[in-house]
Amino acid sequence: MSLIVQKFGGTSVGSVEKIQHAATRVIQEIQNGHQVVVVVSAMGKTTDDLIRLAAGITDSPNKRDMDMLLTTGEQMTISLLSMALQSKGCSSVSMTGWQAGIQTEAVHSKARITHIETARMKEELEKGKVVVVAGFQGMDENFEITTLGRGGSDTTAVALASALSAQRCDIFTDVDGVYTSDPRFIKGARKLEGISYDEMLELANLGAGVLHPRAVEYAKNHSLPLTVRSSIEEIEGTLIEEESKLEENLVVRGVAFEGDIVRMTVYGLENEVTGISAIFSVLADNHINVDIIIQSRTELNSTNLSFSIKEAELEETRSALLQNKERLGFSKIEHEAGLAKVSIVGSGMVSNPGVAAQMFEVLAEQEIAIKMISTSEIKVSTVVEMDKMIPAAQAVHDSFSLASLQPKPQLTN
């Protein structure tokens, strides 16, 4: 009997009615002859409500206590979904992250999974039960409750599917798949039938909110087929696999964008080699993610270093750098907020020169200034002013005809 892991996001379990509907989708897989593990997020805006409660107590809550608070949201959902399954005649058991054997590093608010002890889940599955697991959470080696950060439930689902050698992992959301861009903002954005792990990983890293990057990374590392599907409509979603055969004619597969970006500039680094290395070591020690990086030499034979971060990490970044100013050897730091990142992604870019030039030309025609650029084999990212983010993304999406391109027809002999 094959195993399926299903994940239902917050909007998919945002009410009693939606939880009942999710239970029906689970039972359908049982009736198809599968064992099922279900991972759920907190209902609707529950996590936001819990954060607001904490903010009413203090402006700087302790991270350990925040983890203790936030994990209650998913615990509420697993209880209700398990009850819904049982009310429909389906045997089930609800488990918190630590009851499910999810072990993490000792980092509060954005821990990484280090190991999953699957014995208890397998025992319950052998009894014919659906195992309903709280996403977003685990326990470290000191028996402290931890959370996995944004997108943690996606990561939980894919990690469980990998640990349990599942046939596939289905991510149920309020959208019916992965789109060429966010259809809420970009006219003509359309659903993709398939996309590769690498392309999806880039899109996720660049702001596409449908999947968290760590979830895609887990799937890629374990060659786990991953689908993004609608929790409302029973239609085909988007298949994520090693090499997508479904839309081979697309040079650019998607346009991603992300707001609230900050450009941080460190001036006057005295030692170019050790200074730059030390800066990124300090940021890594503080779990601060850096994206686009630009280095330049000055006439005074020192080095300036610019990099982009998320605005939510601005104060933490400033504090970390200033506390180590003497060791890092820089003269001053400055930042520019109110920025956004607009990117194109596509594995076909490797063999099609001129893609980056086309993007830059389009932005120039729209009189959109580019402040930073980063490229790889399958993506080009630009940093622009925040109020230009959607116009830039729309112009690029239109330029590469992503609304009109259709999958290449399959030839038969």
Residue 248: its pLDDT value, please? 62
Residue 120, in any domain of the structure: yes
- Residue at which a domain ends, from 143, 174, 205: 174
CATH number at residue 315: 3.30.2130.10
Of 121, 140, 174, the last residue of a domain is 174
- The residue that leads in pLDDT, 91 or 407, is 91
Give the whole-angstrom CA distance, residue 341 versus residue 357: 17
Q: What is the pLDDT of residue 246?
A: 61
On whether both 167 and 279 belong to a single domain, the answer is no
Confidence (pLDDT) at 406: 47
- CA-wise closest residue to 211 among 237, 245, 236: 237
Range of the domain at 272: 255-399
Tell me the CATH number at 88: 3.40.1160.10
| Same domain membership, residue 261 and residue 155 | no
In a domain, 186, yes or no: no
Structure confidence at residue 85 (pLDDT): 98
Mean pLDDT of the chain: 92
Q: Which tokens is 9 given?
A: 């996001």
- Residue 298 has what pLDDT? 76
What pLDDT shows up at residue 407? 42
CB 383 within 8 A of CB 341: yes
Give the rounded distance of the alpha carbon of 156 from its chain centre: 12
**405: pLDDT strictly greater than 70:** no
User: Each residue of 1-23: pLDDT tens digit?
Assistant: 799 999 999 999 999 999 999 99
Least confident of 117-126, 186-195, 359-368, 399-408: 399-408
104, pLDDT greater than 90: yes
Query: Model confidence at 274, in pLDDT bands (50, 70, 90)?
Result: confident
Q: What is the pLDDT of residue 247?
A: 62
In the block, residue with structure tokens 């819990």 = 50
pLDDT of residue 346 exceeding 50: yes
Q: Which of 56-70, 194-208, 237-251 holds the top average pLDDT?
A: 56-70
Distance CA 218, CA 168 (A): 12
Q: Which of 174, 206, 222 is the last residue of a domain?
A: 174
Burial label for 271, CB within 10 Å (0-12, 13-18, 19+), is middle
Instruction: Give domain status of residue 137, yes or no.
Output: yes
- Residue 220 located in a structural domain: no
Verify that 295 and 156 share a domain, yes or no.
no
147 bridge partner residues: 137
Query: Are 121 and 270 in a shared domain?
Result: no
Single pTM value for the model = 0.80
What's the number of domains the chain is made of?
A: 2
Q: How far apart are CA 273 and CA 269, in angstroms?
A: 9
Whole-number pLDDT of residue 251: 87
Confidence of residue 348 (pLDDT cuts 50, 70, 90): confident
Band (pLDDT 50/70/90 cuts) for residue 208 is confident
Q: Residue 90: is its pLDDT beyond 50?
A: yes
Instruction: Judge whether residue 87 has pLDDT over 50.
Output: yes
Pair 163, 32 in one domain = yes
Q: 3-class SS at 209?
A: coil
Tokens of 330: 């820089």
Residue pair 13/19 in contact by the 8 Å Cβ criterion:
yes
pLDDT at 351: 79
* Of the candidates 241, 39, 215, 5, the residue with the CA atom closest to the CA atom of residue 112: 215
Q: Which residue bears the tokens 């290449």?
A: 408
406 lies in some domain: no
